[in-house]
Amino acid sequence: MLKNNLSFNLPVLITKQNKRFVAFTPALDLSTSGKSVKQVKERFVELANVFLEEIFEAKTADDVLPKLGWK
């Protein structure tokens, strides 16, 4: 399988809710949480990578991304 590397920036909002930090991006409608800002950033990167890998491997990116507002 041929792999390409993509690099882009996503807007990510990190907020504190009670004792946890929450990272959310409306661009992919994804969120995760962690005990620290560092942990929530690491978890978010992993989550976004898995999400994107899955939709590209399943060949559903052309269906999924436009529904999220991507052109």
The CATH number covering residue 56 comes to: 3.30.160
Three-class secondary structure of residue 56 per DSSP: helix
pLDDT recorded at residue 7: 82
69 in Cβ contact with 27 (< 8 Å): yes
21 in Cβ contact with 37 (< 8 Å): yes
DSSP-derived letter for residue 50 is H
Domain that holds residue 59: 13-67
Residue 41 domain flag: yes
Residue 27 domain flag: yes
Residue 46 domain flag: yes
Total count of domains within the chain: 1
Sort 23 into a burial class: Cβ within 10 Å, 0-12 / 13-18 / 19+.
Answer: buried
Task: Look at the pTM and tell me if it is higher than 0.85.
Answer: yes
Residue 17 domain flag: yes
Encode the chain (71 residues) as per-residue pLDDT tens digits. Answer: 556 777 889 999 999 999 999 999 999 999 999 999 999 999 999 999 999 999 999 999 999 999 999 99
Residue 32 domain flag: yes
